[in-house]
Amino acid sequence: MATPLGWSQGGSGSVCLAFDQLRDVIESQEELIHQLRNVMVLQDENFVSKEEFHEIEKKLVEEKAAHAKTKALLAKEEEKLQFALGEVEVLSKQLEKEKMAFEKALSSVKSRVLQESSKKDQLITKCNEIESHIIKQEDILNGKENEIKELQQVISQQKQNFRNHISDFRIQKQQETYMAQVLDQKRKKATGMRRARSRQCSREK
């Protein structure tokens, strides 16, 4: 912000100090004027000389002029002070408005951070639940795979046993067929021998 004309960089504090100093000067000048008037009254009563009267009157005029000049300077300083106070008030309002806007923005950011943090926590919880469910499913699948492997082993063993039974049955069947053939041959042979004996006996009779 640019410094107002006639206003030092000291700010409103310097203006107030100058205002107080000018006020002290005016009070001193008014006291001196009052004293000079008293002296003039006393001199009038004591029949002072014309030269002394003119001298005192001249000083009084000079003091009045100085007093008027000081009053004018004081008025300017008061104007500067009021201007400075007005600017301070404007800046204070602007600062308060910016502070409120900042606090509102900060509150909004905090609220959004809390929401995002809550969402993140919910996602983490959900991911943990899904991961736990997947682990349980994997355990179940592993158990099923182990059961399937055991069943496959049982089936494989049963197949092997079945093959062995079939092989034993075939061997037994072959043996039974062979025994049947041998017995059939023996039976036929025995039947033939009986017939031959029967014929021989018939001839002998």
Confidence of residue 86 (pLDDT cuts 50, 70, 90): confident
Q: CB–CB of 84/7 below 8 Å?
A: yes
Q: CB–CB of 12/84 below 8 Å?
A: yes
Structure token digits, residue 10: 């000291």
Domain that holds residue 76: 31-150
Q: Does some domain include residue 168?
A: no
Of 61-75, 82-96, 110-124, the range with the lowest mean pLDDT is: 61-75
The span from the CA of 16 to the CA of 29, in Å, is 20
Tell me what the mean pLDDT of segment 105-122 comes to: 90
Q: Which residues contact 52 (CB under 8 A, 6 or more apart)?
A: 43
% of the chain with per-residue pLDDT over 70: 81
Tell me what the mean pLDDT of segment 161-176 comes to: 84
User: Pick from 65, 66, 35, 41: which is nearest to 53 by CA?
Assistant: 41
pLDDT of residue 11: 47
User: Pick from 77, 65, 69: which is nearest to 20 by CA?
Assistant: 77
The pair phi, psi for residue 7, each rounded to 5°, is: -110, 125
Q: Does some domain include residue 195?
A: no
The span from the CA of 189 to the CA of 2, in Å, is 148
Q: Does some domain include residue 167?
A: no
Q: Does some domain include residue 157?
A: no
pLDDT of residue 122: 92
Tell me what the mean pLDDT of segment 125-154 comes to: 91
Q: Does some domain include residue 130?
A: yes
Q: CB–CB of 19/78 below 8 Å?
A: yes
Q: Which residues contact 63 (CB under 8 A, 6 or more apart)?
A: 29, 32, 33, 36
Q: Is the predicted pLDDT of residue 192 greater than 50, yes or no?
A: yes
| pLDDT tens per residue, range 62-81 | 888 888 888 888 888 888 88
Q: Is the predicted pLDDT of residue 58 greater than 50, yes or no?
A: yes
Q: Does some domain include residue 108?
A: yes
Q: Which residues of 52-90 are buried (b: 16+ CB within 10 A; e: fewer)?
A: eeeebeeebeebeeebeebeeebeebeebbeebeeeeee
Q: Does some domain include residue 181?
A: no
Q: How many domains does the chain have?
A: 1
Rounded alpha-carbon distances, angstroms, from residue 134 to 61, 141, 142, 148: 107, 10, 12, 20
Q: Does some domain include residue 101?
A: yes
Q: Is the predicted pLDDT of residue 96 greater than 90, yes or no?
A: yes
pTM of the model: 0.36
pLDDT of residue 75: 85
Confidence of residue 13 (pLDDT cuts 50, 70, 90): low
Q: Is the predicted pLDDT of residue 7 greater than 50, yes or no?
A: no
Q: Is the predicted pLDDT of residue 177 greater than 90, yes or no?
A: no
